[in-house]
């Protein structure tokens, strides 16, 4: 998170050294694939530009990308084999974009609002010990034992509901009730649970319940699953300079979303592998990316089955039957009881107003009750950086600043006697 790390600006992210593998076991030439990548990135940028325009030509990002990609492909690439390979690459890039956006299909992502999301310049940060290292560093700045662990919250009672029902005369309007029966009282609480958890538990998490406009926005906003599958190898089968390996199914050139047998076809949603670097720190490890319902199905399988299927995939695409990962580790965000998915996206029919509704504190403006009892943060409440860690961090700072401003003395008005 250093200043030096944020000094590189190449349209948000630097280019990656890519390897392209096909389902027939061939390594494809970069000059054949590069035009498709250029077209796809140009169309993505076009999708973002509709945010400030009067009207988007279609409802979803997926519909626009597929329609325009096929139109350009048929107009510009006359050689049949190269055209079909590039169209199949479009399919792979759509899968990758599903993971980036956190959705099952880009057909579910609103085109008119797509440009709300902003990419920060600079390089991505990879912490040597994972995010735990960042959390540990932040905890070191706090007084000892001020953060409590292993106390799942059952209900947040606000507007003194809990005190009144218990016939107690409390001065604090908010009571946080834990599953183990413990309670904590306060003037304010900042709720940072993922949108997936809020979708699942909004009816029991707060008492009184959320206002209807907040509930409608919670239901409308999207929240999907993007999982990682880490594979460790004794020796790398990829080139030393390679940073990402794209998998191209040659029969997916029509860009359709066929309803296929999940048991046999889930692995097709795995779009690519990124190479963890430097090897001196991580060893020889690939990180596979898989999003959507296929990703959620993958979570239900045992690790042995996932390892077997991924090994078959790699052997098919490399044409090398000896490739075999020695270890697999995966994430399981959909079945995590505190997330129910990975991160949010602006679904069809949504707008920035839904994000504003989600972030709006309770009680609502105009109420006679004590203000700012329940505040809301987390990535899904940030209009520009939703789906990101920095979005979650900035949303937390926003709500902290809201409370600081609430308690900051108002500047004295001085009236001059003339």
Options 3.40.190.10, 1.10.10.60, 3.30.2310.20, 3.50.50.60; CATH of 131-142+149-222+340-406: 3.50.50.60
Dmax of the chain from CA atoms? 93
Q: Which two tokens stand for residue 173?
A: 């309007």
Q: What is the DSSP string of 248-266?
A: E-TT-TT-------HHHHG
Reduce the DSSP state of residue 310 to 3 states and report it: helix
Give the right CATH number for 24-116+226-330 from 3.90.660.10, 3.30.70.260, 1.20.120.1750, 3.90.320.10: 3.90.660.10
Q: Give the Å distances, CA to CA, from 62 to 101, 106, 130, 195, 351.
A: 11, 4, 32, 23, 17
Measure the CA–CA gap between 125 and 108, rounded to whole angstroms: 29
Q: Looking at residue 133, what is its pLDDT?
A: 86
Residue 202: enclosing H or E segment and its boundaries?
helix 195-205
The tens digit of pLDDT for each residue in 337-364 reads 999 999 999 999 999 999 999 999 999 9
Q: Which of 217, 222, 99, 191 is nearest to 378 (CA)?
A: 191
Predicted local confidence at residue 353, as pLDDT: 97
Q: From the CA atom positions of the chain, what is the Rg in Å? A: 25
Q: What's the burial of 173, exposed, middle or buried (CB within 10 Å: 0-12/13-18/19+)?
A: buried
> Which stretches of the chain drop beneath a pLDDT of 70?
1-15, 161-170, 258-259, 410-418
Tell me how far apart the alpha carbons of residues 380 and 383 are, in angstroms, rounded to a whole number.
Answer: 8
Integer Cα distance of 28 and 85 in angstroms = 9
The confidence score (pLDDT) of residue 368 equals 84
Parse the chain into domains and list their residue ranges.
Answer: 24-116+226-330, 131-142+149-222+340-406
Q: Give the per-residue pLDDT at 321.
A: 97
């Amino acid at each position: 998170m250093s200043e030096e790390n944020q000094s590189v600006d190449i349209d948000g992210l630097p280019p990656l050294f890519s390897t392209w593998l096909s389902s027939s076991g061939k390594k494809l030439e970069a000059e054949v694939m590069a035009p498709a990548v250029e077209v796809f990135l140009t169309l993505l940028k076009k999708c973002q530009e509709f945010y400030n325009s009067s009207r988007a030509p279609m409802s979803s990002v997926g519909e626009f990308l597929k329609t325009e990609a096929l139109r350009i492909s048929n107009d510009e690439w006359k050689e049949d084999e190269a055209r079909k390979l590039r169209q199949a690459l479009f399919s792979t890039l759509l899968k990758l974009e599903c993971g980036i956006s956190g959705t099952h299909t880009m057909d579910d992502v609103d085109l008119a609002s797509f440009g709300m999301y902003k990419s920060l310049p600079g390089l991505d940060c990879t912490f040597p010990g994972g995010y735990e290292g960042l959390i540990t560093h932040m905890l070191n700045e706090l007084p000892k034992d001020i953060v409590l662990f292993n106390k799942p919250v059952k209900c947040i009672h606000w507007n003194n509901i809990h005190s009144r029902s218990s016939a107690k005369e409390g001065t604090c309007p908010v009571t946080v009730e834990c599953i183990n029966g413990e309670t904590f009282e306060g003037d304010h609480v900042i709720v940072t649970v993922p949108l997936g958890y809020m979708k699942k538990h909004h009816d029991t998490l707060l008492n009184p319940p959320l206002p209807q406009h907040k509930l409608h926005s919670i239901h409308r906003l999207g929240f999907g699953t993007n999982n990682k599958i880490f594979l460790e190898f004794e020796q790398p089968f990829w080139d030393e300079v390679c940073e990402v390996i794209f998998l191209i199914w040659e029969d997916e050139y029509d860009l359709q979303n066929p309803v296929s047998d999940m048991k046999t076809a889930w692995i097709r949603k795995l779009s690519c592998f990124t190479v963890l670097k430097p090897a001196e720190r991580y060893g020889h490890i690939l990180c596979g990316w898989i999003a959507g319902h296929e990703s959620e199905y993958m979570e239900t399988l045992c690790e042995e089955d996932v390892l077997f299927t991924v090994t078959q995939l790699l052997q098919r695409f490399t044409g090398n039957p000896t490739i075999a990962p020695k270890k697999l580790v995966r994430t399981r965000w959909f079945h995590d009881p505190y997330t129910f998915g990975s991160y949010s996206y602006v679904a069809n029919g949504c707008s920035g107003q839904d994000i504003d509704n989600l972030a709006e504190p309770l009680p609502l403006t105009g109420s006679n009750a004590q203000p700012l009892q329940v505040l809301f943060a987390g990535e899904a409440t940030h209009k520009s950086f939703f789906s990101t860690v920095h979005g979650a961090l900035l949303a937390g700072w926003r709500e902290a600043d809201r409370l600081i401003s609430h308690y900051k003395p108002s500047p004295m008005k001085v009236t001059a006697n003339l």
